[in-house]
Structure formats: structure tokens, C-alpha cells
Structure 1
Amino acid sequence: MKTVVLLSTRRLPPTYFDTVREDLGNQELSLDVIAWMPPSGYVADRVHTFTLIGPGRMPKAPAPELESDPLAEADPVEEAPDAVIAPEAVAEPESVVGEAEVAPAAAALPADAAEDEAASTTPAGAAASSRGAGEARPVGITRVRKALGWRYRKARKVAGKVLPKAIKTSAPVKFLRGNRAGKDLGKTYWGRIDGRRDVLTTIEKADVVIALDAGAIWAGWNLGQRRGSVPVVLGLPAARRELDQLKATTKAAAGNG
């Protein structure tokens, strides 16, 4: 069984590792992943090891499916017949309170209760406006900071409108931004690998090391310079050629023996 180490700085789905095995010829492979970002799903059943050296957390294993309870699937209990309201429990028309009886009762309320009732009918907006009117405006250094923040946001918005959208979305600008971000990430990624003894030990045991994306190229180049005995390639097609050569060399050695 060949050991393959995958270097990646992107978020990989679990199904991607099935694609890797297929592109590498469906050989018996042990996949070890050194990743900057956690996968998008549970991958412990698809790879040998997955070492996360960047931010984030590994996804948890999916919860096992619980068997259905036969009692829960039974028909719900029907309502008892005696739960129906009896006719005699309904109030008679004479028991309904009329408007003539409500007015004297309201007049008999004490003054405090009447004030509470009037306060409860006051609109919420009026109360909020009365509270807002009492708030003091910022003064001193707080006022200066708020003014500077407002001017900064306004200047940024104006600059975004002045620069044509065709320039901001052009291919050269996107390339420069992506290239700068890729270089920064690549150096950080390589620094994490170089500082982890367990990661370097995993790489030393590999038959092939594959850099899967642009962020992993710098790490792959440095590993290739340090360990010439372990082939470090970019992409799956190049890794397929290396594995085929190793397979042919192994067969030739076995035939000569």
C-alpha cells in the first residue's frame, strides 16, 4: 500500500477524497492530509489521518440513527366523549354584562388606577421620543472619534464610486489580489508545517506528496528541496505518473529477485 500526503489550503468536501482515489487509479492508498482549513464534513472514514494546522475545528461524527419507537407511531388517543362542553355550562344571555353596568364601575375606580390606565394607553413612540430627547450629545474626544469615523466611511464610499467597476472587477486586479493573498497564506502554511514535528514525520513516511492548490505550492517546493528522496508534485495527474513509475519499479525489482 502506497502512502500519499495531500497538502491543501482550501476547504475540501468528503467526496473529494473519493475523487482522489479514482484519479490515482483506484490503487490501495493510505491518504494523509495536511490541511489549513477543516473539511466541510466528516472524513475519518475516507482518509488515514487529517491534520489541521490552521484555524477552525474538525467536524464531529454524525449521530447514529435511532430506531423508530413503535409506541410513538401508534394512533393518537382520541378525545374522550365527556370532554364536550355541556349545554348547561354555557352562560345564559342574561348573565352577559351590559354597557350600562360597565360605566358606573369605571367611574368608581380610584384616581391612581385611572392614571395607570391612561399611562398604559400612551403610544410607545411618544415614550421613546421623550427618553431620546433627554440623552446628551457626545462631547470631547468621543465626539472627535465619531466625526473621524463618519468622514472615513464617507471618503471610502466616495472612492469606491470614483473607481470604475470595470477596473475593480478586471482580471489583472483580481490576479494581483489573489496572488498577494496566496503568497501570504503560502508562507504561513509552510511555517506551520515546518514548525510541527509530527507533520514532518508524516511527510517523511510518504511515497508521494501532492500540493493540491496554489496556497500549498510554496510548502511543496520547500519540501522538495529538503527531501529529494520523496517526490513532491503539483496536482493529481503528476501524482498518478509518479505512482505508476513506483509500481513499475516495484514489479521490476520483484521479477529480478
Structure 2
Amino acid sequence: MSNVVLLSTRRLPPTYFDQVREDLGDQNITIDVVGWVAPSAWVADKVNTFTLIGPGRMPTAPAPEPEPVAESTDEAPDAVIAPEAVADPEAVVADEAKVAPAAAEVAAAGPTPEPAPEPKPAPKPRPTGAKRVVKAVEWRARRARKVAGRMLPKAIKTSAPVKFLRGQRASNDLGKNYWERVLSRRDVMATIDKADVVIALDAGAIWAGWNLGQRKASTPVVLGLPAARRELDMMKAPTT
């Protein structure tokens, strides 16, 4: 049985792992996932392990369905009032006579006065001297950045090159953070050591995959499922 490790920085649904097994041509393959983002739902029945190394929490297991309760066909007998449960009229009148003076005293006491509201905290003192100068410089710098951003034409802001550069910078930062987290986790590195093939699924995991390929020459590290399928087929092919 083959064992693959998936490196991913995106949110994966449970049905994705069924597609992975189909694309790799092996329904019995063991899948371990090292994810930066938690899956969209419970995946314990889809993968061997899912190690979350990014922010967030793993989804909880679905609640078990309640068992149906059999309805009783026996009708309950009519209730019978015991003679002791019927109050004596004279006792009821005596109790009302005792309760009436107490109710009158409560009404005369009036409502309880509300406590006085707490005073508001004193405002923070304004910065003076050098602190005031620093605050003023920071405020002017923030304002200048906002004005500069508004001065750019909308066509430049939404152009394809600008969008590509923004996405590339975000992807590079995510890739470096992902690789640093993978490298710092002993449990993740132990899982990777047991893999037959390591698969980087997206752009955020490419940097981690490249570094793993440099460190572990004996384990194939590939990008995408088609390349992983070729590696697994080569492992299964008989040697001559």
C-alpha cells in the first residue's frame, strides 16, 4: 500500500480526497495531509492524518443521529384525586388573612432605589514634547500613503500586472511561513519521512516542496497529482 503526503495551503473539502484517490488510481492509498488551513468539514474518515500547522481549528465531528424512541401504545389511567388533596375551606380563608398584611407592607415599602452610575474614566493625557512630534509625523505619513493610493488611476490599480505582483508577494510570504512551520514541527517531518511521494498541491506549498526535495533526495517531491501518478506507476512497474 502506497503512502502519500499532501502539502496544501488552501481549504480542502472532504470530497477532494476521493478525487485524489481516483486520480492516483488507487482507492486503498494512505493519505496524510499537512495543511495551512483547516478543511471545510470533518475528514477523519477520508485521510489517515490531517495536521493543521496554520491558524484556525479543526472542524468537530458531526453529532450522532438520535435513536428513534418507540411510542407507547398503553394509555395512562385517569388520575384519581385523593381526599387529602382537597383543601379545607376554613384553612384557605385563614391563610389568606395571614398573607394580606404582608402584601400590604411590601406595597408600602416602594421600589428599591437604583445605585448611582459609576463615574466615567478620565481621558488619556495628550502627548507632549517629543512624543507629540512623533505622533504628528506618524499621522502625516499615514495620510500621505492614503492620498498617494487614491491618486493612482483605477486602471492601474486593477490592471493585470499589479494584481499579479500583489498575488505573487502574498504567495511568497505564505510559502515562506508554511515552510518555516513545516520545518519546525517534528511530527510533520516524521510523517514526511514515511511517505512514498510528497505532493505540493498549490502555489503556496511549492517553496516547501522544493526545500523538501533538496533535503530528501530519496523521496520524490512533485507538484500536482498527475506527476504523483507517474511516480507511483513507476514504483509499481516491475524492474528488469
Structure 1 length as normaliser, TM-score?
Answer: 0.64
Structure number with higher helix proportion = 1
1: CA distance, partners of 2:172 / 2:123: 47
1:209 counterpart residue number = 198
- Matched residue pairs, number? 187
What RMSD, in angstroms, separates the aligned Cα atoms of the two structures? 2.8
Within a 5 Å distance, the mapping from 1:1-257 to structure 2 comes to: 1-69=1-69, 140-141=126-127, 158-248=147-237, 252-253=238-239
1: CA distance, partners of 2:164 / 2:231: 31
Query: Which segments of 5 or more consecutive residues in structure 2 lack a partner in the other structure?
Result: 72-121
1: CA distance, partners of 2:182 / 2:123: 53
Q: Deviations over 1:147-201 (max 9, x none)?
A: 8898777655544432222211111111111111111111111111111222111
2: CA distance, partners of 1:222 / 1:154: 41
Structure 1 70/146 Cα, relative in aligned 2: closer, same or farther at 3 Å? Answer: farther
1: CA distance, partners of 2:185 / 2:136: 47
Alpha-carbon shift at residue 39 of structure 1 (Å): 0.7
Structure 1, 20-29 or 52-61: larger mean CA deviation: 20-29
Q: Deviations over 1:28-48 (max 9, x none)?
A: 200000111111110000000
1: CA distance, partners of 2:195 / 2:202: 19
Query: Which segments of 5 or more consecutive residues in structure 1 lack a partner in the other structure?
Result: 72-135
Structure 1 146/223 Cα, relative in aligned 2: closer, same or farther at 3 Å? Answer: closer
Question: Residue type of the partner of 2:199?
Answer: I
2: CA distance, partners of 1:245 / 1:216: 24
Among all aligned residue pairs of Structure 1 and Structure 2, give the percentage whose two residues are the same amino acid.
Answer: 71
